[in-house]
Structure 1
Amino acid sequence: MLDARGILFSFSGYLSEGILYSLGDTLRQKMTLDDTDVTTIKKVFSVFIEQAQNIIRYSAEKVLGTVGKNVELSSGMVIIGTENGKFFIVCANTILEEDVPRLRQRLELLQKMDKDEIKAYYKEQLREAPEEKSRGATIGLIEIARRASEPIEFDFERIESDKFFFCLKVSI
């Protein structure tokens, strides 16, 4: 059924940097075996990594503990497939309500920009200090929008009083 719907890759569960490395390697190998051109593989891989890192850094569902070392696992899902001759990458995870307004604002801004505006915005943001509460360089979403062939799609759905299910779709 997944093949019939164009799904090449699907992961749902707890992610860590180690799992991300293994999944990324598997994705790259699968796309190479399917004779996907190198430029498309790089774009899909890059967007996949950015989206998975966002899950790892910002998911509201985490498991913390110690197994010989400190461990942090973040829950989310990533689906990669083809649709209408293009690849798509969908990621989803739970986020805190307090994070929704800022994230929605950033995504709506990127959604309205054309390629040249995104490129200029990217260069501008590289010169800025990282946002407060950011666990990255704050340019991940811009990186995703730069590689997308269409405006990014997203949705937020309340699932608890203080949590939302966040979904982001990128076409390449």
Structure 2
Amino acid sequence: MNPGLAWGATAAERVDPLPCDDLQPVALQADRAISIDAPYGLVYAWLCQLRVAPYSYDLLDRRGRTSPRRRDPRLTELEVGQRFMGQFTLASFALSEHLTLTAGNIAVTYAVRPEADGTRLVVRVRMGGPRLPAHLLALGDLIMMRKQLLTLKDLAEAEDRAEPGDRLTQRS
């Protein structure tokens, strides 16, 4: 496997179809996945936070401003065409199941799936265009998305562990 094309994703997850596959059928595919010890509805709600911040390296992505650490429940009110992370557009979604985003010749699906007492977050990025630049983009994406997924994991797990009075009301 080429470096940057898989992180945390199982062989089955790498072949399981996702909505971004239809948006960029002839493209380089990169798969990332992480297990999160929080309910999938809560993980999905944190994915909706990507509307306002990328949750990766804030110094690079947000000029040093910290991505919000408290979830805004209004951000779960989705409509196709909304902006995510400043550069992506919401192409499709299924509540508490997936968000699919596009930007130029890039399509990405964030899919949440129940896993034991928690959630499996599976992300696929499909990058069209010339192979060499796509491979370089996949390496950069791996660094940024790994941080993003670890941050979302920490935030969802922290909210799930919080005292009931400290939690946001969650709609799934």
TM-score bracket for the superposition, by shorter chain length: 0.3 to 0.5
TM-score normalized by the length of structure 1: 0.32
TM-score normalized by the length of structure 2: 0.32
**Structure with greater Cα Rg:** 1
Please identify which structure carries the higher helix content.
Answer: 1
